[in-house]
Amino acid sequence: MKNSFKRITALAIGLGIGMGAASNAFAKSSLEEVMKERGLTQKDLLAAAKTYTPTGGRDEYLAFSSGGQSGHVIVYGVPSMRILKYIAVFTPEPWQGYGFDDESKAVLAQGKINGNDITYGDTHHPAFSETKGEYNGRYLFINDKANPRIAVIDLHDFETKQIVVNPFMKSEHGGAFVTPNTEYVMEASQYAAPFSDDFVPLEEFNEKYRGAVTYWKFDDKKGRIDSEMSFTFELPPYSQDLSDAGKGPSMGWGFTNSFCSERYVGGIERGRPPFEAGCSQKDTDFLHVTNWKKAAELVAAGKVKKSKGAYMIPMDQAIKEGLLYLIPEPKSPHGVDVSPDGTHIIVSGKLDSHAWVYSWDKIQKAIKNKKFEGKDPYGIPIIAMKDALHTQVQVGLGPLHTQYDAKKCVVYTSIYVDSMVTKWDYCEGKVLDQLHIHYNIGHLVAMEGDSVSPDGKYLISLNKLAIDRFNPVGPLHPQNHQLIDISGDKMQLLYDMPLPLGEPHYVVAIKADKLKPAVRYKSGWNSRADAKSPYATRAGREKVVRGEDGVVHVYGTVIRSHITPEIIEVEEGDTVSIHLTNLERAEDETHGFALYNENVNLSIEPGKTVSATFEAEKAGVFPYYCTEFCSALHLEMQGYLLVKPKGYVAKAGAIKEGTKYTQADYDKQVKTNVDTQAVIDSVVGFITSHNYKDFPEVVALVEDATDQLGFAEEAKKKSESYASKGDYQNGTLWAGQWWQYQVKTADLGLRAKTFLEEHGAKKVK
């Protein structure tokens, strides 16, 4: 009997249906028992110990992952691999109210193309802002491949602030990559297309279709891209791919890959061999080398003309001024990665088993000596491969991207076809280690791997497929990010994390302590514009007014646990604009606002002011409420929008009370309140008799509790005033409100007390 149970359990584990077994494991008390029950090895335990983060623990790094077609950015901790946030970027996202409030709609509207709303993105490459080549933790940029756009995310509040649309491109891939002081954000096109917006037949591909690389000027003070001062290089129709910015000795230069430099145009249906055949004929493609520093000087000197309202440097001008060069590179390359010291550039060709290491020193010499092997059909000088190459290393089949280690000369290259990571030395040109992953790695990321001083430690393999790794969830599988320990000589696989949101391409990871996000906004803040909102409303100043614009403006507030106003009356046909300010100062006291039928859904973090404008087309009753479980009386955080028929005349009479209250009710409530106050006093006694001021978290809680107690005092006065006049209906109700504030105070006080107990606060005299 016992044996057969064991067998069934083993079978269940083998089949991956070990739910019962897993929960049994919890009942076991010794490590050995748990290991046996779950079939874990010593190696597993070691891996677990390296990733497991106990409750309340923090991660050393934060990873910002592209969210692929979701158009978001995914934030997770390393090494725990716990997902912390999805940042809405190109796509509406209800939890954050993104694309539902007027303020964020304005950001999304910046991303319109030819007047069309584009409410998704194909995000590929996130990049941190840098100072002297180090991540400074202030901004994150990300590109949209499908619709050539770049977004700016402020890491002060993890919100998207700006979207810029490339005026020349019709698709892109080589963004976002930043120059060492975030002077510029690089964006290179992918599929060649005419710069103009009209029809151009494919027969004119060579003459009229173009590639490009744009250097978006970043205004660090404003935290926004300055389109006016940005410029674009016109490039041949070579299907430009990834980019990277030079640093150190290569500072001032940018590098951009290409594939299909054959300039092949497919057309299976016309009987032409497909793109994939025509785009892989030549043994080499071109690495584009652009001098942005000198280009910026030309722009500043007024020597660059504008086209479509933006600075554009035509190829002949770039050639004449010495701003643009080509170098042959391995066929159909993908990544181009500049070394932390800026001396080398690694390019891998997907259809070549080698990684190629270029020497910036050699490239520079060739440019200086005007030593070229010829020109391309557009007259761009070509530096011979032998005059640029440092070495070639056989790394495996289908090498894609390379990341740099903290150890000098050590790099990791993703090997797509062989599904592995190759660790190698680019100075000596030798392979050091290889690790198989599951399956088909795309990008990979090492900690602070794109900075001038990579940290190494962990590597994450960003896999395209998740076959046999997780419980099946239908034909569409999650992606799989695999955490690898690279601190030793041998790489060690630690953990699989499924990522079920779009196809993430690239990730960047930053030391967590470089990020200092806010816990609240300045009161009445429009977070998207980073300015005080004209609709900011203070407590007691709530109002509904018909503005000069004919719009009914509701200036409202939210605070535990009520929305003011609780009743909004408008007339059918009115345009209504509801502006809500969250009066909370307490951490994590976000309120939501959902309104029936109008597609209004807001997220109002402490201090924030958001607006929702809509047409009240039909008369009716429209309940609204808070969507965040913000307090015990959260369900009661509700109200009604009453849209009255035109010319409606109110019927006489007051609202009939559902329940009548007497003096006995009043006395009972007051007794409860007095008892509650005793609890509060004892908690306050505990807190003040300890060194709570040494704990900023507790100081914040105490501040919040003091506010709530102040509100309780006001309600108490109202209650007593009504009762003294014999109005026990209002007296009881206000006594109830007085109690509500007491409950919030007690809740905060208890949280503070628990915190002090858990953190070993000391008694003071």
Contacting positions for ligand K7E (CB under 6 A): 124-125, 173, 242, 334, 400-401, 442-443, 505-506
Distance CA 753, CA 692 (A): 9
We find the least distance from the C-beta atom of residue 141 to ligand K7E, in angstroms, to be 14
For residue 506, the partner it binds in ligand CUA, ligand K7E, none, with Cβ less than 5 to 8 A by kind, is: ligand K7E
Q: Work out how close the CB of 66 gets to ligand K7E at its nearest, in angstroms, rounded to a whole number.
A: 8
* 390 contact, one of ligand CUA, ligand K7E, none, CB 5-8 Å limit per kind: none
Shortest distance in whole angstroms from residue 169 CB to ligand K7E? 15
Q: Tell me whether residue 230 or residue 745 sits nearer to ligand CUA (CB atom).
A: 745
The terminus-to-terminus CA distance of the chain in angstroms comes to 65
Pick from 537, 527, 540: nearest CA to 577: 537
In whole angstroms, give the CA distance from residue 270 to residue 267: 5
Q: Give the separation between CA 391 and CA 378, rounded to whole angstroms.
A: 29
Structure tokens at 132: 């002297």
Residue type, 473: V
- 189 vs 708 by CB, closer to ligand K7E: 189
The vertex-263 CA angle with 348 and 333, nearest 5°, equals 5
Give whichever of 217 and 401 is closer to ligand K7E, judged by the CB atom: 401
Residue 634 binding partner per list ligand CUA, ligand K7E, none, with a CB distance cut-off of 5 to 8 Å that depends on partner kind: ligand CUA
Instruction: List the single partner that 753 binds among ligand CUA, ligand K7E, none, CB under 5 to 8 Å by kind.
Output: none
Binding partner of 299, given ligand K7E, ligand CUA, none, CB within 5-8 angstroms per partner class: none
Query: What is the smallest separation between the CB atom of 187 and ligand K7E, expressed in angstroms?
Result: 13
- DSSP result, 239-252: -EEEEEE--GGGTT
Torsion of CA 50, 53, 59, 61, to 10 degrees: 30
> Residue 527 or residue 631: which is nearer to ligand CUA going by CB?
631
The nearest distance, CB 481 to ligand K7E, in angstroms, is 13
Choose between 181 and 737: whose C-beta lies nearer to ligand CUA: 737
How many Cβ atoms from other residues are within 10 Å of residue 147's Cβ? Answer: 23
Min dist CB 441 to ligand K7E, Å, is 8
Partner whose binding site includes residue 505, from ligand K7E, ligand CUA, none (CB under 5 to 8 Å by kind) = ligand K7E
Q: Which is nearer to ligand CUA, 108 or 637 (CB)?
A: 637
Tell me which of ligand K7E, ligand CUA, none is bound by residue 52, counting a contact when its beta carbon lies within the kind-specific cut-off of 5 to 8 angstroms.
none
What's the min distance (Å) between Cβ of 625 and ligand CUA?
A: 8
626 binds, among ligand CUA, ligand K7E, none (CB under 5 to 8 A by kind): ligand CUA
Cβ neighbours for 591, distance < 8 A, ≥ 6 positions apart: 558, 559, 563, 580, 582, 584, 604, 626, 628, 630, 637
Q: Which is nearer to ligand CUA, 437 or 612 (CB)?
A: 612
Q: What are the distances in angstroms from CA 487 to CA 50, 446, 492, 627, 671?
A: 12, 11, 9, 45, 64
Q: Shortest distance, CB of residue 503 to ligand K7E, whole angstroms?
A: 8
Q: Give the up-direction half-sphere exposure of residue 621: CA atoms within 13 A in the CB hemisphere.
A: 3
Report which of 600, 533, 522, 589 is spatially closest to residue 559, judged by C-alpha positions. Answer: 589
- Say if residues 235 and 210 touch (Cβ distance below 8 Å): yes
Q: State the minimum distance, in angstroms, from the CB of residue 602 to ligand K7E.
A: 34
Exposure string over 525-544, b if 16+ CB within 10 A, otherwise e: bbbbebeebebbbeeeebeb
Q: Which residue is closest to ligand K7E by CB? A: 442
Written as one string, the DSSP assignment of 582-614 is E---STT--EEEEETTTTEEEEE-TTBEEEEEE
In angstroms, what is the minimal distance from the CB of 632 to ligand CUA?
10
* DSSP bridge partners of 571: 644
Work out what residue 124 binds among ligand CUA, ligand K7E, none; the CB cut-off runs from 5 to 8 Å by kind. Answer: ligand K7E
Q: Which one of ligand K7E, ligand CUA, none is in contact with 637 (Cβ closer than 5 to 8 A by kind)? A: ligand CUA
Measured from the CB atom, the residue of 102 and 628 that comes closer to ligand CUA is 628
Which residues sit at the interface with ligand CUA, rule CB under 6 A? 561, 591, 626, 628-630, 634, 637
| Least distance in angstroms from the C-beta of 417 to ligand CUA | 52
Q: How far is the CB of 702 from ligand CUA (least distance, A)?
A: 21
**Residue listed under structure tokens 């409750």:** 55
CB-nearer residue toward ligand CUA: 393 or 626:
626
Q: Torsion angle, CA of 204/208/209/213, rounded to 10 degrees?
A: 160
Beta carbon nearer to ligand CUA, 79 or 606: 606
For ligand K7E, the closer of residues 400 and 600 by Cβ is 400
Looking up tokens 């299907």 gives 239
Residue (313 or 626) nearer to ligand CUA, CB? 626
Smallest gap from Cβ 148 to ligand K7E, in A, equals 13
Q: Which does 150 bind (CB under 5 to 8 A by kind): ligand CUA, ligand K7E, none?
A: none
Choose between 435 and 637: whose C-beta lies nearer to ligand CUA.
Answer: 637
Task: Return left, alpha or beta for 81; rule: phi > 0 is left, psi -120 to 50 is alpha, else beta.
Answer: left
Which of ligand CUA, ligand K7E, none has residue 591 at its interface (CB below 5 to 8 Å by kind)?
ligand CUA
**Four-point Cα dihedral 308, 311, 316, 320, nearest 10:** 170
Q: Are 288 and 235 in contact (CB under 8 A)?
A: yes
